[in-house]
């Protein structure tokens, strides 16, 4: 993705770069975004609801560092 972005913006003029904001912030997701559930259990806890991480609605966010 970064290489494609760099190639697309290779010939941008200096005055255009004045309108671009660069940030060193990174966003990390706390929950799975592919719709799957995470299950963590011991052998004897088969099908225990307490072992399933609940789903989070879209936009739950994550920390920005």
Give the pLDDT score at 2: 82
Arithmetic mean of pLDDT, 10-22: 86
What's the structural domain count of the chain? 1
SS3 category, 39: strand
Within a domain: 4: no
Condensed to tens digits (0 to 9), the pLDDT of residues 17-54 reads 888 887 777 766 665 566 666 667 777 777 777 767 66
Task: Write the DSSP symbol of residue 47.
Answer: T
Domain boundaries, position 35: 31-57
Determine the Cα angle at 1 with ends 64 and 35, to 5°.
60
In a domain, 35, yes or no: yes
Whether 46 is in a domain gets the answer yes
The answer as to whether 2 is a domain residue is no
Residue 49 lies in a domain: yes
pLDDT number for residue 5? 86
CA–CA separation, 16 vs 46, rounded Å? Answer: 59
Contact of 31 with 56, CB cutoff 8 Å: yes
pLDDT confidence of residue 36: 64
* Residue 11 belongs to some domain of the structure: no
pLDDT in the model for residue 7: 92
36, part of any domain: yes
């Amino acid at each position: 993705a970064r290489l494609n972005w760099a190639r697309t913006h290779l010939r941008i003029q200096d005055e255009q770069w004045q309108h671009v904001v660069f940030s060193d912030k990174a966003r990390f997701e706390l929950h799975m975004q592919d719709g799957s559930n995470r299950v963590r259990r011991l052998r004897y806890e088969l099908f225990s609801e307490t072992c399933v991480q609940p789903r989070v609605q879209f936009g739950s966010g994550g920390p920005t560092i």
